[in-house]
Chains A and B, each alone.
Chain A
Amino acid sequence: MKRFARLFREIDGSTKTTVKVAALASYFQEAPDDDRLWTIALFSGRRPKRAITTTRLREWAAEKAGLPLWLLEECYPVVGDLAETIALLLPEPDAALDLSLTEWINRLRDLAQQPEETRKTIILDAWDKLDTTERFLFNKLITGGFRIGVSQKLMTRALSQATGKPEPELAHRLMGNWTPDDTSWHDLIESEDGSTDNSRPYPFYLAYALEDEPDALGSPEDWHAEWKWDGIRGQLILRGGEQYLWSRGEELITDTFPEFSRAKDFVPEGTVLDGEILVWNDGPEPFNALQKRLGRKSVSRKMLSELPVVLYAYDLIEFAGEDMRQRPLEDRRAKLATIFDQLPEEAPLRLSPRLPFAAWDELGEIRETARDNRAEGLMLKRNDSPYLAGRKKGDWWKWKLAPLTIDAVMIYAQSGSGRRANLFTDFTFAVWNGDDLVPFTKAYSGLSDEEFRKITAWVRKNTQERFGPVRQVTPEHVFEIAFEGIHASPRHKSGVALRFPRISRWRQDKPLQEANTLDDLKEMLAIYG
Chain B
Amino acid sequence: MSKSQVLTFTDRGIYCPAGDFYIDPWRPVDRALITHGHADHARDGHNRYLATQAAAPILKHRLGGIRLETICYGETRNIDGAKVSFHPAGHVPGSAQIRVEVDGEIWVVSGDYKLEPDGLSEPFEPVKCHSFVTESTFGLPIFHWQAQEEVAVQINDWWRHAIANGITPMLGAYSLGKAQRLLSLLDSDIGPILSHGAVENTTAILREQGYTLPDTILVQPDTKGAEYPDALVIAPPGALGSTWARRFGKVSTGFASGWMQMRGVRRRRSVDRGFVISDHADWDGLNRAVTETGAENVFVTHGYTDIFARWLKDRGLNAGIVSTEYEGEAAEGAEAE
> Which stretch from B45-53, B180-188, B211-219, B257-265 is at the chain A interface?
B257-265
A89, B327: Cβ atoms under 8 Å?
no
User: Chain A residues near B196 (CB, 8 Å)?
Assistant: none
A14, B272: Cβ atoms under 8 Å?
yes
Instruction: Enumerate B141-165 residues with CB–CB distance to A below 8 Å.
Output: 141-144
**A101 to B139 alpha-carbon distance, docked (Å):** 34
Bitwise interface map of B from 293 to 312 toward A, beta carbon under 8 Å scored 1, else 0 = 00000000000100100110
Residue on B nearest A417 in the bound complex, by CB: B264
Instruction: Enumerate B312-336 residues with CB–CB distance to A below 8 Å.
Output: 314, 327, 329-333
A88, B264: Cβ atoms under 8 Å?
no
User: Chain A residues near B311 (CB, 8 Å)?
Assistant: 68, 71
User: Chain A residues near B141 (CB, 8 Å)?
Assistant: 65, 67, 71, 75, 89
Distance of A486 from chain B, by nearest CB (Å) = 33
A422, B330: Cβ atoms under 8 Å?
yes
Distance of A241 from chain B, by nearest CB (Å) = 48
- CB < 8 Å: which of A12, A85, A149 contacts B142? A85
A89, B142: Cβ atoms under 8 Å?
yes
- CB < 8 Å: which of B142, B268, B327 contacts A78? B142
**A85 to B142 alpha-carbon distance, docked (Å):** 7
Residue on B nearest A16 in the bound complex, by CB: B272
Residue on A nearest B329 in the bound complex, by CB: A460
- CB < 8 Å: which of A14, A68, A78 contacts B140? A78
Does B267 sit at the interface, judged by CB under 8 A? yes
Does A145 sit at the interface, judged by CB under 8 A? no
**A39 to B109 alpha-carbon distance, docked (Å):** 52
A71, B307: Cβ atoms under 8 Å?
yes
User: Chain B residues near A16 (CB, 8 Å)?
Assistant: 272
**A51 to B142 alpha-carbon distance, docked (Å):** 25
User: Chain A residues near B265 (CB, 8 Å)?
Assistant: 421-422
**A149 to B310 alpha-carbon distance, docked (Å):** 36
Does A48 sit at the interface, judged by CB under 8 A? no
A84, B262: Cβ atoms under 8 Å?
yes
**A142 to B261 alpha-carbon distance, docked (Å):** 22
Main SS at interface, chain B = loop
Distance of A89 from chain B, by nearest CB (Å) = 6
- CB < 8 Å: which of B143, B264, B270, B307 contacts A420? B264
**A295 to B166 alpha-carbon distance, docked (Å):** 53
Does A13 sit at the interface, judged by CB under 8 A? yes
Distance of A94 from chain B, by nearest CB (Å) = 16
User: Chain B residues near A88 (CB, 8 Å)?
Assistant: 142-144, 261-262
Residue on B nearest A14 in the bound complex, by CB: B272
Q: Identify the interface centre among B267, B331, B332: most chain A CB within 10 Å of its CB.
A: B267
B268, A79: Cβ atoms under 8 Å?
no
Does A419 sit at the interface, judged by CB under 8 A? yes
B270, A15: Cβ atoms under 8 Å?
yes
Distance of A20 from chain B, by nearest CB (Å) = 12
User: Chain A residues near B333 (CB, 8 Å)?
Assistant: 457
- CB < 8 Å: which of B264, B310, B331 contacts A81? B264
**A142 to B333 alpha-carbon distance, docked (Å):** 35
Does A80 sit at the interface, judged by CB under 8 A? yes
**A85 to B307 alpha-carbon distance, docked (Å):** 16
User: Chain A residues near B280 (CB, 8 Å)?
Assistant: none
Distance of A66 from chain B, by nearest CB (Å) = 9
Instruction: Enumerate A29-76 residues with CB–CB distance to B below 8 Å.
Output: 65, 67-68, 70-71, 74-75
New A-B pairs, 11, CB < 8 Å, besides A13-B272, A84-B263, A421-B262: A15-B272, A71-B311, A79-B262, A81-B264, A85-B142, A89-B142, A418-B264, A419-B267, A419-B268, A422-B265, A457-B327
The 4 closest A-B pairs by CB, nearest first: A421-B264, A88-B142, A460-B327, A422-B330
Interface pairs (23), CB distance under 8 Å:
A12-B267, A65-B141, A68-B314, A74-B140, A74-B304, A75-B140, A78-B140, A78-B262, A78-B330, A79-B263, A79-B264, A81-B264, A89-B142, A420-B268, A421-B262, A421-B264, A422-B262, A422-B265, A457-B327, A457-B331, A457-B333, A460-B331, A461-B327
